[in-house]
Amino acid sequence: MLEITNLVKTFAGDRQPRRENGDRAASRVRAVDDISIDVRDGELFTLLGPSGCGKTTTLRSVAGLERPDSGEISVAGRVLFSGGSSRTFHLPPNQRGLGMVFQSYAIWPHMKVFDNVAFPLQVMSRGSRPGKKAIAEKVMSVLETMELAHLAGRQATKLSGGQQQRLALARALVTEPPLLLLDEPLSNLDAKLRESLRFELKRMQRELGITSVYVTHDQIEALALSSRIAVMRDGKIMQTGTPRDIYERPDNRFVAEFIGTSNFLSGTVAGHENGLLAVDTEHGQLLVRAEVRPGTGEAVVLAARPEAVALTDQAPTHDTPNQLTGSVVTRSFVGDAVDHIVRVGGQEVRARCEPSVSLAPSTTVTLRIDPANLTLIPVGD
């Protein structure tokens, strides 16, 4: 569906000191350094990597907002950009027909919810513009998908942050683009809202089967959402694979370390109770707050960030879920926290604790992870 071949994009870097011959040579930053990507029909494909690795520049190049130095970009066989030593072809962004949602909500504040979504249809060229009635139907249908239909008449600014972001999505989807580009669309939202919108985004993407490219620096978000992930560093792709490939079989040290700052616990779904999912792991049963409902017996992975793992040298208590027993391997002070590595059965778990919690190697400890702080990653996705 989306094919990127040998894409290169450089920017003028900081100016260098004047040379002996009086020239000032400007160094160039290779923001995207010869990358090739093939996104399949219906996939949610994620570009993942640390700040400055070239994710946004890649996405902006697909959108037509950056003009690459060389390479080729095509969507469904239609060339959007082709450049190199000879002639360059660069289709302007407004002729690419792609859906885009960026970090800032980018809704039109002076318009009502309905009009925000109707606008992209109203400005379509004469031949392809639907009639007034068809526009109203399309707008209401996409507002329903995003659960905003009841707010159609409201001023866009009078929506909550999550609703505004859903509105931005509705607006990007209404023209039924062949490809949806999403640049950290959830990063301005608080953790709870991010979690629930992540599920909605995944549901919507699946239901509509819309091919999407998603940019994020958040490994857990990438693992939980994506069909496949490309991990980037310094403008290059370090590995492309399914979430499972990436965390189970990292190709190189960079990918292993970048993904490995989170903890992963494998298990199978045992059942549901009181809005919580019970997962059997080799360390016992863990509860996770999840809005998706995989079937009993399905294989899943639970992810926990190190700061979500609490440690104590007290024995487990009866009234608290998600307690594991382990033994401290190492601890290290990192300024405002103490990082511990704890051996639990056959695996090491990282816990980032308050400075007041500092447990010596070989101490037997109880690890506690709140069900709300575990992320469910369906494997086999």
Ligand X SMILES: Nc1ncnc2c1ncn2[C@@H]1O[C@H](COP(=O)(O)OP(=O)(O)OP(=O)(O)O)[C@@H](O)[C@H]1O
Among positions 52, 130, 316, 378, the unique one binding ligand X when judged by CB under 6 A: 52
Using CB under 6 A as the binding rule, whether residue 15 contacts ligand X is answered as no
Q: How many residues bind ligand X (CB under 6 A)?
A: 12
Q: How far is the CB of 29 from ligand X (least distance, A)?
A: 5
Using CB under 6 A as the binding rule, whether residue 185 contacts ligand X is answered as no
Which structure tokens are listed for 324?
């594991």
Q: How far is the CB of 330 from ligand X (least distance, A)?
A: 30
Can you say whether the dihedral through the CA atoms of 172, 173, 176, 180 is positive or negative? positive
**Torsion angle (degrees, nearest 10) of CA 209, 210, 214, 218:** -20
Q: Which stretch binds ligand X (CB under 6 A): 49-57, 219-227, 290-298, 300-308?
A: 49-57
Among positions 53, 75, 117, 302, the unique one binding ligand X when judged by CB under 6 A: 53
Angle at 191 between CA 185 and CA 195, to 5 degrees: 70
Pick 56 or 263: Cβ nearer ligand X: 56
Pick 234 or 307: Cβ nearer ligand X: 234
Using CB under 6 A as the binding rule, whether residue 56 contacts ligand X is answered as yes
Q: Which of residues 210-269 bind ligand X (CB under 6 A)?
A: 217
Beta bridge partners of 10: 30
Distances (CA, A) of 58 to 7, 8, 47, 69, 364: 8, 9, 9, 12, 47
Q: How far is the CB of 181 from ligand X (least distance, A)?
A: 13
Distance CA 272, CA 235 (A): 43
Report CA Rg, the chain: 24
Distance CA 129, CA 219 (A): 40
Could you tell me if 268 and 253 are in contact, meaning their C-beta atoms sit under 8 angstroms apart? no
Among positions 2, 7, 48, 49, the unique one binding ligand X when judged by CB under 6 A: 49
Q: Which stretch binds ligand X (CB under 6 A): 20-28, 51-59, 92-100, 197-205?
A: 51-59
Among positions 1, 8, 39, 55, the unique one binding ligand X when judged by CB under 6 A: 55
Q: Which of residues 342-371 bind ligand X (CB under 6 A)?
A: none
Task: Give the containing element (helix H, strand E) for 162.
Answer: helix 161-173
Q: How far is the CB of 221 from ligand X (least distance, A)?
A: 13
Contact positions vs ligand X (CB under 6 A): 11, 29, 31, 49, 51-57, 217
